[in-house]
Chains A and B, each alone.
Chain A
């Protein structure tokens, strides 16, 4: 969910982005310790983007333009999945504990359209799933940002005790999404609330 931030960074800083740290293939707490997951391969933890919220963490294998995983954990009702100002012209709807599946889909789609500048965004599937041992939702989609690369995304989420827990995979539709998907699915299956 944060590919576009790297686009901004590479334009502003000439591609010099520092601050990546190694995530070893062992159980690890993510998103301010709100969830624990068990990666089977090493990942790179990306530095915070300007619109990232505190309860967010981002990983990548091959660089955020090609693939990335976002974790958002224990987000309270009334909070947004991105930083934004009250008077922003275009705002991502805030999370509400009583959101319907349709509302959650809209919230995520708005993030891509407003924050990432996706001019083309299509839902390819919304279905029930189990996440963190609770009834959750899996949302699959494709989108195109202004770099015109076709990308695919999957968000897996659940609302537990009124709080949002979310994992999202983004990757170039050509190769990278499919390449990262098995590891993403294993990560999601391994996730537990800390």
Chain B
């Protein structure tokens, strides 16, 4: 199941850009050339597009009732607000679902259903970066990439029926989405690459018009590439650029980042002198704050130390705090290589020096001190953990440790 899930999560319905690499270059698409192919309140008229929408509407019914959604009203409202800022009245034609999954991804279905994964929320440093991804996905919708993809598939594979495909995926909406997604990608690498360039350009345009800093878009891809390199390096593996395969749908990474950067500068060069563009970092941090520990924890507990440390260090560029130091320690504790126990102990000690250290940091600090033979310091920290969270699920076990 894991392999199925990963493919879906890393590719997305109109996949968000996780694949990079070196195939033939495409001409940069200018953001100002992007115009919507659907207007507000668009509903499909042609038979095939209506069928496609109906299939995704059925999929969306499952998604809307999924156990894997983040139900928090404030977070959903905030995400909705970013989409509304980007799309204006046309945001009413889209629905956004925040899915619990630690991988970096977002996706857009042809009917306006957008999935935002918690792994995306974990990695963004400000609202502009988040808007860059949502803008990219919105670009897919506004350019009708879903149905254009679908029509090309039908032209290429006359024997395949979308409804038969949907029926074949007898599992959950995840399996169905994956089946649809894989087929789209396998059929259409070159066509989709053009679409990705369009979506990038459209995303930038939406950001610019919504007064987000357009430079945030290239930052996002830079962070993701660096994270993947760090993950490979930690396992002593060569970084493999997945976009070198025939299923590659995304423009080469360097070219893509340079296109995004060039387009952003082009937009800003022609901006009105009094226009202000910002990254809305404060708003982002306030919205994410109640969920930040959960978001980082999801990633850290996958024990992908390279990626996790990269994420933590990236977030720490805006300043270390107790939560980040605690999770830094967790990465080392789970990695468990030579010297990691000491590294973890140092990180926990640094965590509890912050006033905002989470209760678990005291537990981790306590056990690390006990392991190192510092009994009194360890007991003090464990006691502090129980003071801070007397009804913690593991309170009985910690009390048992203290009683020994």
Contacts and interface: CB of A to CB of B under 8 A. Distances in A.
Interface residues of B, number: 40
Contacts of B396: 125-128
Interface stretch (B47-55, B197-205, B271-279, B297-305): B297-305
Nearest to B62: A148
B43 interface: no
Given A98-B371, A117-B2, A119-B102, A91 B397 contact: no
Interface in B270-310: 298, 301-304, 307
Given A128-B396, A147-B172, A7 B371 contact: no
A11 B4 contact: yes
A164 to B, nearest CB: 15
Contacts of A114: 302-303
Given A4-B1, A128-B400, A105 B394 contact: yes
A110 B66 CA distance: 23
A157 B235 CA distance: 30
A163 interface: no
Interface string B115-144: 000000000000000000000000000000
Interface string B95-108: 00000111000000
Interface in A44-82: none
* SS class, residues of chain A in contact with chain B: mixed
B221 interface: no
Nearest to A113: B301
A126 B236 contact: no
Interface stretch (B31-39, B312-320, B362-370): B362-370
Interface string A110-150: 10011111011101111110000000010010001111111
A93 B100 CA distance: 23
Given A103-B333, A147-B172, A137 B397 contact: yes
B58 interface: no
Given A103-B333, A128-B400, A146 B5 contact: yes
Contacts, number: 113
A119 B394 contact: no
A123 B398 CA distance: 14
A194 interface: no
B394 A126 contact: yes
Contacts of A127: 394, 396-397, 400
Interface string B345-372: 0000000000000000001100100110
A150 B65 CA distance: 13
A144 B67 contact: yes
| Interface residues on chain A, size class | 35 or more
B336 interface: yes
B231 interface: yes
A8 interface: yes
A96 interface: yes
Contacts of B175: 11, 146
A4 B192 CA distance: 33
Given A98-B371, A106-B333, A137-B397, A93 B364 contact: no
Contacts of B401: 100-101
A70 to B, nearest CB: 17
Given A100-B371, A120-B67, A93 B336 contact: yes
Contacts of A146: 1, 4-5, 68, 172, 174-175
A94 B67 CA distance: 30
Nearest to B103: A119
B309 to A, nearest CB: 14
A109 B91 CA distance: 39
Interface of A: 4, 7-8, 11, 87-94, 96, 98, 100-103, 105-106, 109-110, 113-117, 119-121, 123-128, 137, 140, 144-150
Interface of B: 1-5, 66-68, 100-102, 171-172, 174-175, 231, 235-237, 298, 301-304, 307, 333-334, 336, 363-364, 367, 370-371, 393-394, 396-398, 400-401
19 contacts: A8-B2, A89-B304, A90-B302, A91-B303, A93-B334, A100-B370, A101-B367, A101-B397, A101-B400, A114-B302, A119-B68, A120-B67, A125-B396, A126-B393, A127-B396, A127-B397, A127-B400, A146-B5, A147-B1
Given A128-B396, A144-B100, 19 more contacts: A8-B3, A87-B235, A90-B302, A94-B336, A98-B371, A101-B398, A101-B401, A102-B394, A110-B301, A116-B2, A117-B2, A117-B5, A119-B68, A119-B100, A127-B394, A146-B174, A146-B175, A147-B1, A148-B67
